[in-house]
Structure 1
């Protein structure tokens, strides 16, 4: 394992990302491992639950975030074969320490069925905005374009509300709003011969492991830590939203 002495091996083992012999889980491909070591995020989905894992601070610390989506992942994947599906994911735990932007604990995604690969691909409406708009344009479907624009307006409204709540990151949120506004204008001007799908780099932001075991390992660890905190501080109750 590269940079083994620097990696947070104990945490990586707790969450099933590496084995006891310090080799990476077989559920991760060589490409997954390479991207993970470069700062990409491993995403583990289970029903409506999601856990994300990312190496930070020069790969010396494992950042784990727990989120919950509005729909079951299995239902989203099945329905996406008929039309593009949209889903909101938000944090159910206290992860905003004043340094994380709204994007880290709230995500709006689109799930698109790729007929050529027979796979469902997840796109972030901000991080993958240009690619997603190209895909919607290529469909040449008025209904799909209308649905997409509706989701963009919802996203823009959400971000505008976040500016007052997170003034310390207002600049970053404003940048996101500008991205969304640009895509709305592009959708309004869509023509039959507009953008084509950019098939390269569809997953250049996050790895999608979709592994329930990783999620369960992470969730179990969080519950154990919470129980220890309650023992030390009997007055503590629940999580802040």
Structure 2
């Protein structure tokens, strides 16, 4: 991995490198190390997103500009209440399968950070998070987003047969997660019905009601007998 041939002019242009050739103070040592190893730096501003990645043995900076369907500040605020789903598109590639990504933003209460998940790349991890929440509403919202993504991918297979293999791989991942969510939903619904049944049994069960009446009548009869007994002794 080369670091001496970095495209410093381009890096300075986007504020990744300072005028004195040092990396921006906004980047941690870990961020810089990962960037030099080929990981992307992501910058969000309102509905816009830019990704920066070093390619060709760190000799060239690849910059991609993306558009999101929601403002990033609104996403961060709403994510503290529930999981937020957002779509990202590359406006320069509207005729390609690769122009579309669906993301989920999850608030981590322990770290107090919002974590971004891709519904394809991070499918297993995201489904596990949904399962841990054990919230029927959140599970149904997740399922709807997966189904919308599945329909999108199915349409893309017909439109771009030359990319069918790549798209089918993503489609299989999404379909598998839908099956997992269906099982999860069934379990949650069964639990909800069981809990509802238990409550109804405690309130409306006729045998229970009759038993309560019988016990009350027996207590009243016992009290009357005791009163009669005390009156007789007088």
The TM-score with structure 2 as length reference comes to 0.75
The alpha-carbon deviation at position 93 of structure 1 amounts to 2.3
The aligned counterpart of 1:156 is: 150
Larger radius of gyration: 2
- Aligned-partner Cα distance in 1 for 2:70–2:162: 31
Q: Secondary structure at the match of 1:22?
A: coil
Q: Choose from 107, 123, 136 the match for 1:113.
A: 107
Preserved contact between residue 65 and residue 95 of structure 1 (Cα < 8 Å):
no
- Are residue 102 (structure 1) and residue 101 (structure 2) matched? no
Q: Provide, for residues 183-208 of structure 1, a one-character-per-residue CA deviation record: whole Å limited to 9, x for no partner.
A: 1111112257xxxxxxxxxxxxxxxx
Measure, in 2, the Cα distance between the counterparts of 1:85 and 1:95: 24
**What is the SS of the residue equivalent to 1:92?**
coil
> Which residue number in structure 2 is paired with residue 199 of structure 1?
none
Whole-Å Cα distance in 1 between the matches of residues 158 and 35 of structure 2? 34
**Are the counterparts in 2 of residues 56 and 62 from structure 1 also a CA contact under 8 Å?**
yes
Residues 1:127 and 2:126 aligned together: no
Q: Does the 8 A contact of 1:126 with 1:176 survive in 2? A: yes
The correspondence of residues 5-20 of structure 1 with structure 2, limited to 5 A, is 5-20=4-19
Rate the CA distance shift 1:31–1:58 in 2: closer, same or farther, 3 A: same
Alignment coverage as a number of residue pairs: 186
Q: CA deviation at 1:22?
A: 1.9
Q: For 2:76 and 2:84, how far apart are their aligned partners in 1?
A: 8
C-alpha contact (below 8 Å) 2:3/2:58 kept by paired residues? no
Higher-RCO chain (CA-CA 8 Å, sequence separation at least 6): 1
1:137-152 equivalences under 5 Å are 137-152=131-146
